[in-house]
Amino acid sequence: MVSPWKTASVPGLQLGLGCGFWICRSYRFLFRAGAMGPHVVPRQLVWLSRWQAVCAWGASVQHRTWAGVSRIPSLLSSGGALSSSPLVCRSSSSTPPGAPEVVLTQQRYPVTRLPFSVVSSEDLAAFERILPGGVVTDPEVLEASNVDWLRTVRGCSKVLLRPRTSQEVARILRYCHEKNLAVNPQGGNTGMVGGSVPVFDEIILSTTLMNRVISFNSVSGTLVCQAGCVLEELSRYVEERGFVMPLDLGAKGSCHIGGNVATNAGGLRFLRYGSLHGTVLGLEVVLADGTVLDCLTSLRKDNTGYDLKQLFIGSEGTLGVITAVSIQCPPKPRAVNVAFLESPFYVLVETSGSRAGHDSEKLSDFLEQALSSGLVTDGTVATDQTRLKALWALRERISEALSRDGYVYKYDLSLPTERLYDLVSDLRARLGSQAKHVVGYGHLGDGNLHLNVTSEAFSPSLLADLEPYVYEWTARQRGSVSAEHGLGFKKRGVLSYSKPPEALRLMQQLKALLDPKGILNPYKTLPAQA
């Protein structure tokens, strides 16, 4: 604590413990209470070598009891460090006790099974020959892979395959392609949009056993690993060697790097280190027909022909199965500061640099300036791990708090920064007492708004007031109707709000080129064709 700032008694949420694992996601965000103009994106912040801005719903939950920051560490008592707490990890292992059964997707949504073959005993025998011991048909084990972690969609796959090598993936896909069998590639099953589980009886192709680090270059920081490596384990691995992964997200304890790349995951380090389109150096991908496409280079620069790997980043397993990843890891920062500020939004700022003294000096100067100008009215700064995590916990539990408010309508939008909060105000006026709360928080630096609307219970009329209104509003701003979550199954119908017909047509042509039988992750990403 080198900041001149006092440990202010800032508002915090009083959160209950013991809620289900499936409620919490630990994104790091921004949240707010009042009107937002461009001035809440102070240019002064830009000098910070890393910053994460967060603001929460404040006004909309003012009736709740707040806990001072000093009390926050007590929240950690039950689970130790938050990052390893079950509250911020996702598990896909089993149904939480007492949780209601998830309705089958094919019953809940108007979707028709495409004419793929049905897995036969002959097929199972073939898989067993390819993957001795790697073919799972036990319904209890399958259950966890058929249901998404949010417990909103559910497939009825009868078989889960667990290859260990790219060659095994290639043999499986070659077989499925020949037999017209649909395949659902699955990483950590931590997606937000139902992209990681089958819609019908697609074969689940899991990367769980493909969890080997292939190489790490401790000079350049280039990591090459199989697609099934868990992000948190990779983080630990590279941090021991003086580097960090260029991405971090709440699901890191479960998500696979292959899934991160397939969904073009955003997350907490996006603003600092940029998109995976820039940090992924190479990919190995198995195409729908079993062809292994080896673009697994570790070069920073390579201008030999089209950059094919880019096609697969964010394609959600619909164009190929990512089997290995080469990724550029930046050096581990030696100094980290977190500032939590007030007025009119709550803003969480994280800096990372190489020298604590320098960073504190810059941050203090900025905070004094922000305070004296009236831009900020109060706040606190943390540098030690415990307090730092306590401040992040304020953000990390927003989702949990929201879920206690009733039914939650969730949207993940990209908007021009200066319009980031207008939709929240607009919806409050539009929805009136229909909604319990209209909450906007997100990543200020990325222009990423997480819009949440709560009501006592699911209401079709409220939904009708929200959709397509929210999407149309976003489209008018040339925003994105899916900033970082992707489209998966649940959002594939809204693609055209953010992309013109020419783009959609080209996407469909690419899909047809790379997967002519459409066996890879069907019913996902692209809208159903008429």
Closest contact distance (angstroms) between CB of 133 and a copy of itself is 29
499 binds a copy of itself (CB under 8 A): yes
Instruction: Pick the closer one to a copy of itself by CB: 4 or 73.
Output: 4
528 binds a copy of itself (CB under 8 A): no
Closest contact distance (angstroms) between CB of 516 and a copy of itself is 11
- Cβ pair 281, 298 in contact under 8 A: yes
Rounded to whole angstroms, the Cα distance separating 219 from 214 reads: 16
| Burial (0-12, 13-18, 19+ Cβ within 10 Å), 469 | middle
How do strand 213-217 and strand 280-286 relate by DSSP bridges? unpaired
207 binds a copy of itself (CB under 8 A): no
What is the footprint of a copy of itself within residues 282-321 (CB under 8 A)?
Answer: 287, 291-295, 297-308, 310-311, 313-315, 319
Instruction: Pick the closer one to a copy of itself by CB: 33 or 415.
Output: 415
Q: Starting from the edge strand earliest in sequence, which strands make up the sheet with 160-161, in order?
A: 135-136, 160-161, 203-206, 183-186
How do strand 160-161 and strand 203-206 relate by DSSP bridges? parallel
Residue 335: which residues within 8 A CB-CB, separation 6 or more? Answer: 351, 352, 353, 354, 355, 356, 358, 359, 360, 383
Q: Which sign does the torsion angle of CA 469, 470, 476, 478 carry? A: negative
Pick one of 108, 236, 476, 478: the residue that binds a copy of itself (CB under 8 A): 478
What is the footprint of a copy of itself within residues 440-459 (CB under 8 A)?
Answer: 443, 445-448
Rounded to whole angstroms, the Cα distance separating 98 from 116 reads: 35
470 binds a copy of itself (CB under 8 A): no
122 binds a copy of itself (CB under 8 A): no
Element (H, E) at 378: strand 378-382
164 binds a copy of itself (CB under 8 A): no
Pick one of 278, 386, 463, 472: the residue that binds a copy of itself (CB under 8 A): 278
240 binds a copy of itself (CB under 8 A): no
337 binds a copy of itself (CB under 8 A): no
63 binds a copy of itself (CB under 8 A): no
The stretch among 77-85, 201-209, 266-274, 336-344 that binds a copy of itself (CB under 8 A) is: 266-274
Instruction: Pick the closer one to a copy of itself by CB: 106 or 383.
Output: 383
Count of residues that interact with a copy of itself, criterion CB under 8 A: 87
| Burial (0-12, 13-18, 19+ Cβ within 10 Å), 144 | middle
Instruction: Pick the closer one to a copy of itself by CB: 101 or 294.
Output: 294
What is the footprint of a copy of itself within residues 166-205 (CB under 8 A)?
Answer: none
223 binds a copy of itself (CB under 8 A): no
What is the footprint of a copy of itself within residues 22-61 (CB under 8 A)?
Answer: 38, 41, 43, 46-47, 49
What is the footprint of a copy of itself within residues 352-391 (CB under 8 A)?
Answer: 354-355, 358, 361-362
Measure the CA angle with vertex 281, ends 325 and 315; round to 5°. Answer: 65
Instruction: Pick the closer one to a copy of itself by CB: 125 or 308.
Output: 308
Rounded to whole angstroms, the Cα distance separating 407 from 490 reads: 17
Q: Three-class SS of residue 223?
A: strand
What is the footprint of a copy of itself within residues 384-443 (CB under 8 A)?
Answer: 414, 416-418, 443
Tokens representing 512?
A: 């047809």
Rounded to whole angstroms, the Cα distance separating 31 from 220 reads: 37
